[in-house]
Chain A
Amino acid sequence: MTQSILTDIKKAAKKSLKAREDELANTQKQLEILSGDLFVGGELPFFKDKIAETGQFPLKPKKLEVLQINVGYMCNQVCAHCHVDAGPDRQEIMTRETMEQCLEVIRNTGAHTLDLTGGAPEMNPDFRWFVEEASKAGIQDFIVRSNLTIILANKKYHDLPEFFKKHNVHVVSSMPHYTRGKTDKQRGEGVFDKSIKALQMLNKVGYGMPNSDLRLDLVYNPSGAFLPANQAAMEHDFKKALKEDFDIDFHNLFAITNLPISRFLDYLIASDNYEDYMYSLVEAYNPAAVENVMCTNTISVSWDGWLYDCDFNQMLDLKVASKVKHIKDYNDDVLSNRDIIISQHCYGCTAGAGSSCQGTVA
């Protein structure tokens, strides 16, 4: 039974939830599920009540350190766990006008990290222009989240490693496992081989090499309904396997917990894992992780310029609770007074050693 549902998901997974007109493409529906019977019945505590136990409600931002900009939801891949519901059929793409508004903020903000994500950010037609302009702003750490396969997807992307190098971009790439089977199951047929090839191309220009300033980090997401184990142990296993099998070097591995939203939520429900997964998240709750959770030092900007506490809240369409809601009106002082919007998906960032776009936090 479960197996046939999973086969159906796999077939459907060639399209986004949005293109399939799935009810979970509706963010309201997702939020209803996340505040559903499991929590209302008192079986599990609401996130709000859990953080109140340690006096951490309402959750407030600290100093802004990371500006994360989502330049569009279009992607060459349709990963089964994608919280963005990204794919080739998504048309939401940041315009140059919005990019200019972002640049204005990048130049004036005290944030030390600029983090470009998507979708496949490279598919935005103004991506290179934006990187060139942003790299002039003197940001300390300039991250592009690249899915790796885009580098091989079309001839016009083959020189991306050189382009990244030229602008001293810090490349952060997803790699769910060092074996083909697990990677392809999550990310699609053939993704593993292409990812390996892309990593070798990045190594070739100097990315990820020991002592190299060209940073290449990998992101590990569990390929199923379980939490990531110890980040350092996973990094050790990834390094050993990728070096021995493919002579690949990289710097750090970030272990990121899958949050129960969008396509991952769809998978959890269809595979009858939702309840157990929420229990696992709540059981692994770590108050120390709340202290450093990424929404406390990050602002997330959507393709159309709206502001969010994080990329996950962006995908749930939970705009910042502030008078300033759009990049064109950006104001550090006003934003720093806001309360961070939370729901039960937030347990994903506070489980175990915590989880953020930069890996564990506790």
Chain B
Amino acid sequence: MANSYYDPADLRKFGNITEWSEELGKKFFDYYGKVFEEGALSAREKSLIALAVAHVVKCPYCIDAYTKDGLQRGITKEEMMEAVHAGAAIESGATLVHGVQMMNKYDKLSM
């Protein structure tokens, strides 16, 4: 067994998941490919969304993949960092908005 949970070389083997469940794997990769095609949003915009989400879900494979994808598309580092901040702002906002629940409970329990 590998002595680390994450190995960068495993990203290349992502497609192998289909070997143990061909139908589901194939459906997933078809769906995945379709999602990132040009659509109402450009492939470029979707790449930046993917990069932001990659950070929020803290997936090192996805961060590697979408940093490279962004570079390939000519996306600048400033654009990439703003996307990461957008993800981080939503994530921290999601924590902070629970502060209202805390305030509600505090008020309810207090005289």
At the interface, yes or no: B26 with Cβ under 8 Å from chain A? no
Q: Does chain B have a CB within 8 A of A234? A: yes
List residues of chain A with CB within 8 A of the CB of B76: 179, 182
Instruction: Answer whether residue A345 sits at the interface, using C-beta atoms and an 8 A cutoff.
Output: no
- Report the separation of the CA atoms of residues A182 and B72 in the bound assembly, to the nearest whole angstrom: 13
B44 in the interface (beta carbon within 8 A): yes
**Is there contact, CB below 8 Å, between A222 and B73?**
no
Q: Given known contacts A279-B12, A283-B12, is B71 in contact with A233 (CB within 8 Å)?
A: no
Q: Give the chain A neighbours of B71 by CB distance below 8 A.
A: 222, 224, 226
Q: Is B68 an interface residue (CB 8 A)?
A: yes
B94 to chain A, nearest CB (A): 32
How distant is the Cα of A279 from the Cα of B12 in the complex, in angstroms? 9
A233 and B44 in contact (CB under 8 A), knowing A177-B74, A179-B76, A279-B12?
A: yes
Give Cα distance in the complex from A56 to B60, angstroms. 38
**With A279-B12, A283-B12: A233-B72 Cβ-Cβ less than 8 Å:** no
Within 8 A of A (CB), among B35-74: 42-44, 68-69, 71-74
Category for how many chain A residues contact B: 10 to 19
Enumerate A209-232 residues with CB–CB distance to B below 8 Å.
220, 222, 224, 226-230
A37 at the interface (CB under 8 A from B): no
Establish whether residues B72 and A227, one from each chain, have CB atoms under 8 Å apart when the complex forms: yes
Question: Are B68 and A226 within 8 A (Cβ)?
Answer: yes
A133 within 8 A of B: no
Partner of B72, one of A229, A237, A238, A279: A229
Question: Which residues of chain A have C-beta atoms less than 8 A from B43's C-beta?
Answer: 230, 233
| Contact pattern, A 290-308, Cβ under 8 Å of B = 1, otherwise 0 | 0000000000000000000
Whose C-beta in chain B lies nearest to the C-beta of A227? B72
Closest Cβ–Cβ distance, residue A156 to chain B (whole Å) = 35
Q: Interface readout for B4-43 with A: 1 if CB under 8 Å, 0 if not?
A: 0000000010000000000000000000000000000011
**In A16-35, which residues have CB < 8 Å from any B CB?**
none
Q: Which of A152-167 contact B (CB under 8 A)?
A: none
- Docked CA distance A234–B71 (Å): 11
Which of A182, A224, A229 has a CB less than 8 Å from the CB of B73?
Answer: A229
CB pair A228–B72 under 8 Å, yes or no, is: yes
Residues of B contacting A220 in the complex (Cβ-Cβ under 8 angstroms): 74
In the complex the two chains form, is B12's CB within 8 Å of A229's CB?
no
- The distance in angstroms between the C-alpha atoms of A177 and B72, with both chains bound, is 11
Task: Determine if B72 and A222 form an interchain contact, defined as CB atoms under 8 angstroms apart.
Answer: yes
Q: Is the CB of A234 within 8 A of B68?
A: no
Q: Name the residue in A178, A229, A283 with the highest tally of chain B Cβ atoms < 10 Å from its Cβ.
A: A229
Task: Write out the residue numbers on chain A whose beta carbons fall within 8 Å of the beta carbon of B73.
Answer: 229-230, 233-234
Nearest CB of B to A315, in Å: 24
Q: Smallest CB-CB separation from A280: which chain B residue?
A: B68
Residue interface bits A307-348, CB-to-B below 8 A is 1, else 0: 000000000000000000000000000000000000000000
How distant is A338 from chain B, measured CB to nearest CB, in Å?
35
Q: Compute how far the CA of A238 lies from the CA of B76 in the bound complex, rounded to whole angstroms.
A: 13
B49 shortest CB reach to chain A, Å = 16
Distance from A273 Cβ to chain B, minimum over Cβ atoms (Å): 11
Inter-chain CA distance A224–B69, complex, in Å, is 12
The chain A residue sitting closest to B71, CB to CB, is: A226
What's the minimum C-beta distance from B24 to chain A, rounded to whole angstroms? Answer: 22
Residue of A nearest to B64 (CB): A276
Which residues does chain B contribute within 8 Å of A233, judged by CB atoms? 42-44, 73
Q: How far is the CA of A238 from the CA of B68 in the complex (A)?
A: 19
Asked if residues A234 and B74 are in contact (CB atoms below 8 Å), the reply is yes
Which residues of A lie under 8 Å from residue B69 when comparing CB positions?
229
* Chain B hits for A222, CB < 8 A: 71-72
Query: What are 21 A-B pairs at a CB distance below 8 A?
Result: A179-B76, A182-B76, A220-B74, A222-B71, A222-B72, A226-B68, A226-B71, A229-B69, A229-B72, A229-B73, A229-B74, A230-B43, A233-B44, A233-B73, A234-B73, A234-B74, A237-B44, A237-B74, A238-B74, A279-B12, A283-B12
Enumerate the 6 nearest inter-chain pairs by beta-carbon distance, A residue then B residue, closest first: A229-B72, A229-B73, A226-B71, A226-B72, A226-B68, A237-B74
New contact pairs (7) apart from A226-B68, A234-B73, CB-CB < 8 Å: A182-B76, A222-B72, A229-B74, A230-B43, A233-B42, A233-B73, A234-B74
